[in-house]
Structure 1
Amino acid sequence: MTTRGAMLKLPAALTGGNTKALAGPVLIVMILGMMILPLPAFLLDLLFTFNIALSIMVLLVSMYTLKPLDFAAFPSVLLFSTLLRLSLNVASTRIVLLEGHTGPDAAGKVIEAFGHFLVGGNFAVGIVVFVILMVINFMVITKGAGRIAEVSARFTLDAMPGKQMAIDADLNAGMINEDQARKRRAAVSQEAEFYGSMDGASKFVRGDAIAGLLIMVINIVGGLIVGVLQHGMDLGDAAKNYTLLTIGDGLVAQIPSLVISTAAGVIVSRVATDEDIGSQLVGQLFTNPRVLGITGTILAIMGLIPNMPHIAFLGLGGVLIYAARKLSDRETAAQKKTSAPAPATAVVASEAPEASWEDVTLVDSLGLEVGYRLIPLVDRAQDGELLKRIKGIRKKFAQEIGFLPPVVHIRDNLELRPNTYRIALNGVEMGGGDAFPGQWLAINPGQVSAQLTGTQTRDPAFGLPAVWIDQHMRDQAQVYGYTVVDASTVIATHLNHLVVTHAGELLGRQEVTALLERIGKESPKLTEDLVPKTVSLPTLQKVLQGLLEEGVPIRDMRTILDAVADNAPRTSDAGELTALVRLALGRAITQQWFPGTGEMHVIGLEGALERLLSQALAASPNPGLEPGLANTLMQQTDQAVKRQQMAGNPPVLLVQHPLRPMLARFLRRNMPQLKVLSYAEVPDTRTIKVTTLIGGQA
C-alpha cells in the first residue's frame, strides 16, 4: 500500500553526497560502542595501533603547520582523541578483569608488548615509568600549553579592536578589497576563538591524566580481587599478571596522550612565520658558527676533565667545532663573492653623439622617489610589498573616483635621506615623509589607554600623532588602542590620500578622451554629437576638474554628459556648467555625505551674514570680501567645523545656491575637509537640521 505525500529527504552524507560528513558521527558511535560492547583482543590491538598512529599524525601536522589557524580543528581533535583513549581504557579494563587470569596476552599483543618489552616485565619499573610519564604530561607539557593558550587568548581578544582598525585602514587605502577585508576579519575572530578553545581543550588532557591514574589503581585492586577470590590464584601470581597487564594498558594509552599534549604545546607556542617548526629550529639554532664553535669548545674542555666520559664530550665537541668552521668558511666565501669588484673593461674613446629628441626627459605625471633603505619595498625582484599596494590604490581610485589615474613612476633618489620618500605631481613635490622598514607606525586615533616608547612623529597622511615602534611591541600597541601599520602601508596611505586630494589635477585631456571613448562604447549616441559640436574638450575637462576639486566623483558620466548637453547651448562658461551639473548630481552628492534617508545635520549661515554675502555677490560676479569680514568668516567657520566633527556629523555647510561657488572657493584652501552644498542640490525628500550657525547660534 502506498500513500502520496511528502517524501522523507535523507542528508547528503547518507546518499553519497559528502562522505566526510560521516566521519564525526561514526567516530562518536564507535567510541560509545567500545565503552559498552565487549571487544576481542585482536580488535583491541588494531584500535590501540590506530590510536598511536593518530597521535603521531597529529604531532606531524602540528610540526608542519605554518599558522595556528591552519590546524583550527585541533581542539576538536584533542577532544575526540581523549575520548578514544578513555573508551579504549574501558574496553581493555573489561577484558583484563575477565581474562587476566589466563596469561599476559589476555588483552592482546599490544598491551603484552608494552608490559614486557618496554619495562622488562618488572611491574615496579612499569609503575614508576607510568607515573613519570603522567607527571611530565600533566605537570609540564599540558600545564604550560594551557597557560600559553590562556595568555594568547587574552592578548588576542585585547588586540582585536586594533587589528580591525588596521584592516579598515588597508581597505580605505585600497590595498585590499571588501572580500579580502571580510576574510581578514573572519581570521581575526577565528584566531581568538582558537586560543579560547585551546585553553579549554587543555583541560581534557589534564582530566585524561587523572583518569589514567585512577584507572590504573582500580585495575590493580580489581584484578587482585578477581584473581584471588574468583579464580583461586596465588596472591603473587595475581599481582604479577594483573599489574603487568594494567601497566601495559596504561602505557599504551599514556604514550599517545603525551604525543598529543606535545602537539598542543607546539601549536600554541610557535610564532607564525612562513616556515614550519622544523625549519625554524634548524634555521635559528644551528646556523650561527660562533654559537656552535663556543659550544663545541666548552664540551671539549669538559671532556679533558678526569673521570669524565671523554669519548662523548670530545666527540660531540669536535663535531660542533667542525660544523662551525664549515659555516664560517661558507659565509666568508659568500661575502667575497658579493663584494668582488667588477672586471675592468677597456674604455674606448668615442665621439659624443649629437643631441636628439630622445634626450628630452618628460616630467612624470605622478612620481614616487625613495631613499636607498626603502628600495626593497619597491623592488620587483624582492617582491616589494609597496608595488602591490600601489596597484590596489590605482584600481580603487578608478572604481571610486571614475577615471584611471596615471601610472606611478617609482625611482630611487640618492639625494634623499635613506628612509625618506617623496611624492611628486608633474615634477612638483606634493608630500613626503620618513618610513622605517622592519618597524611599525603606531597611530594614535585619540583614544589610547597608554603611551608607547619609540620615535615620536606624525602620520604623514592625516597629521595624527604617531610613534615608530619595533616589531615586538606591535601586539602591545594594538592592545593600547593604537592603529598599527607597516612602512609600506604608511607610504601607500599617504599616496592614496594625495592622489584623491589632487584628483582634479590628474585629469588631463588624455584621460578625458579615454573616458569619452569608454562611455562611447556603451552609449555611442551620448558622445557622438557632444564633443566638439556642443561643448569643447577643454571646457568639458574644466567641468570635470571642478567636480573633482570639490570631492565629487565623476563615475556617473551619463548624468554629467546629459547635463552638459542640455546646458552647453545656453552657456559656455565652465564654472556655470559645473554648477548646473552639480544640480543634476544633487542626489548623489547628498548621498555621499549623508547616506540613507535620515535627517541631515548641517552647518548654516546666520541670516544677516547671508544677506551681506548676497549683496557682495550682486555687486560683482567675483567679489572680493572685505579683510575683516573674510577673517571673521574664516574663524567662525573653523569653529563651526570643529563643533560639527565633535558631534559626529559631517563637516558640510549648506547655503543658497548662488553663494555656493564663491564660498567653496574661499573656504577650500584653508579647510579642505569642509564641503559646501546648496539647498538646490538637496532632494526634496530629505529633512534638514541646522546644528551649527556661522555668525550666530543654532
Structure 2
Amino acid sequence: MKARDLLILSGIIGIILMMVVPIPLMLLDFLLIVNISLALMIILIAMNTQDALDFSIFPTLLLITTLFRLALNVSTTRNILSEAEAGSVVETFGSFVAGGNLVVGFVVFLILVIVQFIVITKGSERVAEVGARFTLDAMPGKQMAIDADLNSGLINEQEAKERRRKIEREADFYGAMDGASKFVKGDAIAGIVILLINMIGGLIIGATYHDMSLMESLQTFSILTIGDGLVSQIPALLISSASGIIVTRAASEGNLATDLTAQLFSYPKLLYVVAGTILFLGIFTPIHLVTTVPIAGLLALAAYRMQRNLNRQAEETEQLVEEQQIEEVRSPESVVSLLSVDPIEFEFGYGLIPLADTNQGGDLLDRIIMIRRQCALELGLVVPVIRIRDNIQLKPNEYVIKIKGNTVARGELLLNHYLAMSPGIEDDSILGIETTEPAFGLPALWIDENMKERAELSGYTVVDPPSVVATHLTEVVKRHAHELLGRQETKMLVENVKESYPALVEDLVPNVLNVGDIQKVLAKLLKEKISIRDLVTIFETLADYGTYTKDPDILTEYVRQALSRQITNQYASGGDSLKVVTIGPSLEKKIAESVQQTEHGSYLALDPVSSQAIFQKVSEQLNKLIQQGQQPVILASPTIRMYLRQLLERTMQDITVLSYSELEPQAEIQSVGVVNL
C-alpha cells in the first residue's frame, strides 16, 4: 500500500476505536477542531467546484464525516457523564455561545437542528432522489446520442467509451447521494437523542456519583450538553449544506485515498482561508491557541507547499509546450503550415502598436469589425478575417496592407497628430508636415492638436490616425474585393441563398452553372464595384441566360442589365443628373470591328497606335469631369461596353464604364463630352 492508503485506513480504524476507547481531553479538543476544519474545507470546495466530477468522492466522504462526528459525540458523552467535563472546546461552545443563559443555548441548538433536519437535509434528499430518477430515465437517450456521433464519425471509439462511462458514473453518483442523504438525516436525529441522554443522564449521575446539588448538577451538565450539541451540529450543518450544493455532481474514478488527496487538496488558496478561520477562533475566542495555532500552521504550510507544487507543474507544462512547439518547427511536417496564406493582412511598425492595443485606448479591432459590416452592406461580400500583426522590419510609423501575401498598399502615420486635407483653397496659416493621404492620394498635412481647431475653421477635413487607417483599409478591400471571392466563399453565399430560395438554387446549381462559373461572374461585378448583395436577382438572371451561354463576360453583361436600378442609384442618386462622357459612333464602330470571335470567347484586338489614340481622347474628355469635381463615367452602347472596359482598365483602373441598358429610362443623363477618333 501507499502511505496515503495506510493513512486513510488508519483514520477509519481510529474513528471506530474512538467509540469504545476513552480519549484524553487534550486530544478530544484537537479532534473537535479538526472536525470543524474539515467541515469548512468541504463546504468551500463544494462551492468552488464547477463540475461535479471535481468532487465526486462526496457521498463516501459524507459517510466518513458523519461517522467521525458521531464518534466524537460518543467520546464527549463518555467524558461528560463520567468526569463531568469534556474539554475546553465543548465548555467554550456551551458558555461562550450561550452567553451564560441556558435557555438561549438550548434555543440555538434546537434552531440548528431544525434548519439542518427540515430545511437543508430534507431538500437535499429530495433533489438527490429526483436527480437519480431523471438520470436513469435519460440514459437510453444519451446512449443513442453517443452511438449517433460514433456512426457519423464525430467521435472515435475511445471517446464513445469515455462518454458512456461518464453517464454510468453520473447514475451511480445520484444513487449514492440519494442514500447518503439519509446519513445526515440520521445524524440530526442522533444529535437530539444524545442531547437528551447527556442532560437527563448528567442530572442523575451528578446527583448520585458526584455529590452535586440539583442546581449545581443542572448548571454543570447543561453547559456541557449545550456545548457538545453545538460543537457537533455546526459542522453537521456545514456538511449538510455542502451535500445540497454537490448533490447534482457526477461520480469519479479511483479509490478513496486517491480521490481525497487529488480532489480535496486541489485548492491551496482555500486552505489559507481555513487556516485563517481556525487562527481567528484561537485569537478571538477562549479556545486555547495551543489547540488552534498548530492546525492553522499545518494548513497554511500544506497550502504553501501545494501552491508551490502547482506552480512548478504549471511551469513544467508551459516548458513542455514550448519544447513541443520547437520540436514541431524542427520537424519536416511543420513546413506545411507555412504554405497557408492569409487573405488580408495588416502589418505595422512598433510605433503604431497603440492603435491595436486596447489597453492603450486603441480601437483598431472595433473599426475592422465595422469595415467588414460596411463591405457586407455595400458590396454583399463577406470579408475574410483580417490578420493584424506587428512587423519589426517596417519603420516605426509605417504600415502595409497585404492581399494573399503580397503588399498592395502602404502608408505612414504620425500618432498624436491629425491629417488635414485642403478644401481646394490653401491657408498659409495652417502649418504642418506635408504628406499624401494614403487612400486617395490627395495632398495633406500632419498637424498637431493646437492647429486642429484652426484647420477645421478654415474648411480643412481633419481626421485622426485610426480613421486614416480605417479609410485606407476599406478602399483597399473594395478595390481588391474580386480577389477575395473564391469558390469556397461563393459556395457559402450560394448556401445562404438556398436557405430562403431553395428552388432557385437547385435550378441553377449544378444544372445550369457550377460554382466556378458563378464565382467568375460575381468577381467581375466586384471588380467594377457593383454590389452582389442582391444575389436573388443575380441568380435568377444566370438561371435564365446560363442555358444559352457559359461565357462569364456575356453573363456578366446580362446581370448588369438586370441590376439596372441598383447601378442607376449608385451613380445617379439623390435626383441629380448623371454627367457622363459618351462614346461617339466612329469609336464604337472601330471597337466593334476589332472584336475577334474564337471558340474560347471573344476579345478586343486593337493595334497599339489606335489604343494610344483612344487613351488620349478619353483622358482629355474625362479631365473635364474631374475639373468639375464629378466622378468620371463613360457611357457606351451595350455591344462594346465590356470591350471598352477591358481596354481602358490597363491604364485607368478606377474608370467607370456603363451602357445605356444599365441605366433606368427615367434617369437624367447629361453628356459633357464625346469621344471620337
Normalised by the size of structure 1, how large is the TM-score? 0.48
Larger radius of gyration: 2
Normalised by the size of structure 2, how large is the TM-score? 0.50
